[in-house]
Structure 1
């Protein structure tokens, strides 16, 4: 039900966000490499597993000392509240779901324990509580034997009617008397009934699940999805050049020139995708400006919009990795919006902030040099998908996403690199992130197998805002051969390439390298993504039979 207040107020998400912020960069890099775009689901799952383990310990302790169980829930609450209220976008009532959740959890703990512990009342048929024990010891969960019990009857329950009476006088044994598990002065000692506990827990899970579904249905996702569907995109004042007929080589397994929205990579720090209603969205431009500006979504759509084909690349991308994609974007030119605010001459950085508090530092000179840097509102002919920044995100050709491509952008502070730091800079990443020339082999797949004879090697290469001028391929460290290059509409997109290969039986290693339009060939020297992007030649091994 936390979704009714806001997804970031859910303490599991808030704790996960705090974990993301506190995690060292090498650990984050490992998570991205190991889990890819599932890293957030793994983190949330890990938080839930830890919470479940700690809750189990609290439950065991509470069986003996109930006050200790309540204390454990209180400590849970403190951690959750701190995590929630310290988020950059925290509001006055954001701690309410955590406080309510802790209160409900504490009540549920007491209820489950009361349900699971059978109290003073005796199950003796025809007898009274306070009778003496027959002296036989049993385990706490062991049920007393009764006449008439049938196989399969639940512990402590009798089948049939009352068939016994207390013995009269001092005669023979008389009818058998059923006795409670353990007797003490004044009544029956409590026993722990696992079945009643498990049925109670199961009921709680059903209620919690129903609450989660209801919260999701009533939450902001529906509202934002409906608002997105209602957006009417204006025609661009400056349309993109038509995509050349030869831009897509249409080779099976080769990344298409335009990446479909559903296949476009997503790498960001948001555990829960921000739900920003365009009716409530504003963009504030302030800092080292003469006239601070605040735009609504309607204001932005009224500006002259530019359409541009731009490839985005994540700095976390390993050589040959999947975190690159090409799309046609529509948006207002960032340079025009910034000029309307009156930039001061000493400014050199844009510190942009996302709706979830993430910050990004972009070199101002890059945005103002004439390239198609956009406050984008559309992607491949439709309003931005929520996962990719709806209602507005930044797109800046030639820079890695961590210094340029803020999603759900709501604030831009015009500042200086020597005065402000963005999210990733204090975590060991470069303050500026120009994209390095890269090339990737898509066909054949790494570790794959193919038949001997005529084969095709193909892939993509990129050097955003410079352009790719050549791609070379070699097999088994032989001679470099020039690949055929596909057409491109401009220097800001990746470029497909292909080459024919007479494949012979055996194991083969294929390598690729690209040269940009400035004559710079990508280096063979391998380097990891941190601090400013991976380098090296992409290499794969294939089996030919």
Structure 2
């Protein structure tokens, strides 16, 4: 048999195995919706890949796909699964039963990984085991029919009839898999229930508020608004399936190096005096000039008040916050107990937290990158020490502490934009949260640095808008900006990647003036 003819014989087996895998994956998703919503085979495998991913891989994914990194990961998993399925089909045709063994092995791996998840339950392995077993069973049946058809063809019967029949059955398997997946979405009632609870929830009135000055927003087209709409706020986390937490079942445990363990439930939390503040959050993966930053109006209870109830001991220097899905962040104790508005937040821009942003409760800590502070769906605060515990990303090579660095960004004009010659404007935002910004300077081409006009800052915990009039001459121009902090530090020109503690360098835009 020639290599070409062997490959032609492999093709129906590849199609059959892929179809069987689609059916198995659909049945696995359906089983997850019924018995273990957090153990979706795709989510389990994807979560395991996120957990194992080195820092550079995370940065690359965010750099390439931004907030679409999770969708890209799921697509990547699907493509990889189809490749494995195709290879298993070839293996099953040539050396049965090893193709089926490979498909079962994929399900077993998913089951094992499901046990390692923080939200694992007794039934967590079931969906992955069902997916692997169903894929192996159907692939085995279809490919066995192909082998029998070829045996019949060798004795004079029409092998094409068998191939067409197997391809038709493969189509049925794919359709059944798609329908099972659709059924899993239909049965995901937990998400709908929590959404309904959130929609009906009424937040308590704040005891204190932060005023946003009218002069804080320059009103320039293309410039980021001083307060980011919730729908536009960046989302970076490790949750492929957004946790669905009912406030009625939520609880926060404060323990560790404390004199008194504290447990708060939702009714306890909302009964406390609420504070409304405006704060800017930024992801450590934000490149110079990047968009992984946003400012919102947050409502919640100061974390220092909760920690004061627990009374941390003198040896404590860190708080390990934990999400319901197992994510952890290691925040310096002093950052949660000093004068900044570090909150157990329940509201965002006048509404309950969006589910994907941590509903019902999350941490908001100005001045710290999110990987060491912005735990969503928070369920635990463990008071401990940096030499005894590590957060999720610090255990993967990121810096132990993550204070936000001094940065500025050009929003107007956009890079590559066509600008009309004459009077126009250069504008952007600058920040070093919990320190503040005292000035921004702009350079056009290699000319002198010019002082921009700052908008009125809401507080040191927020970014500030800036602008500079520009008489644009025809030609191509390079625009740069740098910020000056409230302490007199000038933003460095040294270029550094986000890992391990935040990007540095000057943002610049190249524009063409007609």
The answer to whether the superposition gives a TM-score over 0.5 is: yes
Shift of residue 268, structure 1, vs aligned partner: 1.3
Residue of 210, 226, 232 corresponding to 2:202: 232
CA deviation map 1:407-436 (0-9, x unaligned): 111111000011111111122211111111
SS at match of 2:488: coil
Q: CA 1:529/1:183 → structure 2, altered by over 3 Å: closer, same or farther?
A: closer
Shift of residue 41, structure 1, vs aligned partner: 1.6
SS at match of 2:297: strand
Shift of residue 108, structure 1, vs aligned partner: 2.0
SS at match of 1:284: strand
Deviates more, 1:302-311 or 1:269-278: 269-278
Distance 1:62 1:344 in 2: 62
Shift of residue 69, structure 1, vs aligned partner: 3.1
SS at match of 1:508: strand
Distance 1:181 1:110 in 2: 20
Residue of 252, 267, 281 corresponding to 2:250: 281
SS at match of 2:301: strand
Residue of 121, 124, 148 corresponding to 1:91: 121
1:265 aligns with 2:295: no
Q: Which residue of 2 aligns with 1:169?
A: none
Q: Which residue of 2 aligns with 1:249?
A: 218
Q: How many residues align?
A: 483
1:61 aligns with 2:91: yes
Distance 2:239 2:115 in 1: 16
1:301 aligns with 2:273: no
Q: Which residue of 2 aligns with 1:183?
A: 155
Shift of residue 512, structure 1, vs aligned partner: 0.6
More helix by share: 2
SS at match of 2:501: coil
SS at match of 1:193: helix
Q: Which residue of 2 aligns with 1:72?
A: 102
Distance 2:245 2:165 in 1: 44
2:89 touches 2:99 (CA, 8 Å); kept in 1?
A: yes
Q: Which residue of 2 aligns with 1:126?
A: none
Q: Which residue of 2 aligns with 1:522?
A: 491
CA deviation map 1:132-166 (0-9, x unaligned): xxxxxxxx59xxxxxxxxxxxxxxxxxxxxxxxxx
Residue of 409, 413, 416 corresponding to 1:447: 416
Shift of residue 17, structure 1, vs aligned partner: 1.4
1:118 touches 1:191 (CA, 8 Å); kept in 2?
A: no
1:364 aligns with 2:333: yes
Deviates more, 1:313-322 or 1:85-94: 85-94
- Unaligned segments of structure 1, at least 5 residues: 120-139, 142-179
Q: Which residue of 2 aligns with 1:383?
A: 352
- Unaligned segments of structure 2, at least 5 residues: 1-29
Q: CA 1:497/1:112 → structure 2, altered by over 3 Å: closer, same or farther?
A: same
CA deviation map 1:323-382 (0-9, x unaligned): 110000001110111111121111110001111111100000111112110010110011
Residue of 506, 509, 522 corresponding to 2:478: 509
Distance 2:513 2:391 in 1: 48
1:48 aligns with 2:78: yes
2:105 touches 2:132 (CA, 8 Å); kept in 1?
A: no
CA deviation map 1:237-281 (0-9, x unaligned): 1222x2111111111110001101111011112222222222221
Distance 1:467 1:6 in 2: 46
1:467 touches 1:492 (CA, 8 Å); kept in 2?
A: yes
Q: Which residue of 1 aligns with 2:10?
A: none
Shift of residue 66, structure 1, vs aligned partner: 4.3
Task: Map 1:191-210 onto structure 2 (within 5 A).
Answer: 193-210=162-179
1:404 aligns with 2:373: yes
Q: Which residue of 2 aligns with 1:132?
A: none
Distance 2:250 2:141 in 1: 44
SS at match of 1:203: helix
Q: Which residue of 2 aligns with 1:81?
A: 111
SS at match of 1:410: strand
Q: Which residue of 1 aligns with 2:62?
A: 32
Q: CA 1:195/1:189 → structure 2, altered by over 3 Å: closer, same or farther?
A: closer
Instruction: Report the TM-score when normalising by structure 1.
Output: 0.85
SS at match of 1:56: helix
1:117 touches 1:193 (CA, 8 Å); kept in 2?
A: no
Q: CA 1:431/1:181 → structure 2, altered by over 3 Å: closer, same or farther?
A: closer
Q: Which residue of 2 aligns with 1:125?
A: none
Shift of residue 182, structure 1, vs aligned partner: 4.3
RMSD between aligned residues: 1.9
1:117 touches 1:192 (CA, 8 Å); kept in 2?
A: no
SS at match of 2:469: strand
1:117 touches 1:190 (CA, 8 Å); kept in 2?
A: no
Residue of 164, 184, 204 corresponding to 1:215: 184
Q: CA 1:181/1:361 → structure 2, altered by over 3 Å: closer, same or farther?
A: closer
Distance 1:538 1:229 in 2: 40
Q: Which residue of 2 aligns with 1:162?
A: none
Shift of residue 217, structure 1, vs aligned partner: 2.3
CA deviation map 1:38-70 (0-9, x unaligned): 222222212211111111122233235543233
SS at match of 2:97: helix
Distance 2:153 2:493 in 1: 78
Residue of 319, 322, 336 corresponding to 1:353: 322
Q: CA 1:6/1:261 → structure 2, altered by over 3 Å: closer, same or farther?
A: farther
Distance 2:262 2:472 in 1: 61
Residue of 52, 69, 78 corresponding to 1:22: 52
1:323 aligns with 2:353: no
Distance 1:255 1:189 in 2: 68
CA deviation map 1:274-320 (0-9, x unaligned): 22222221111110111111111222111111100000011111111
Deviates more, 1:364-373 or 1:266-275: 266-275
SS at match of 1:339: helix
Distance 2:95 2:42 in 1: 26
Instruction: Report the TM-score when normalising by structure 2.
Output: 0.90
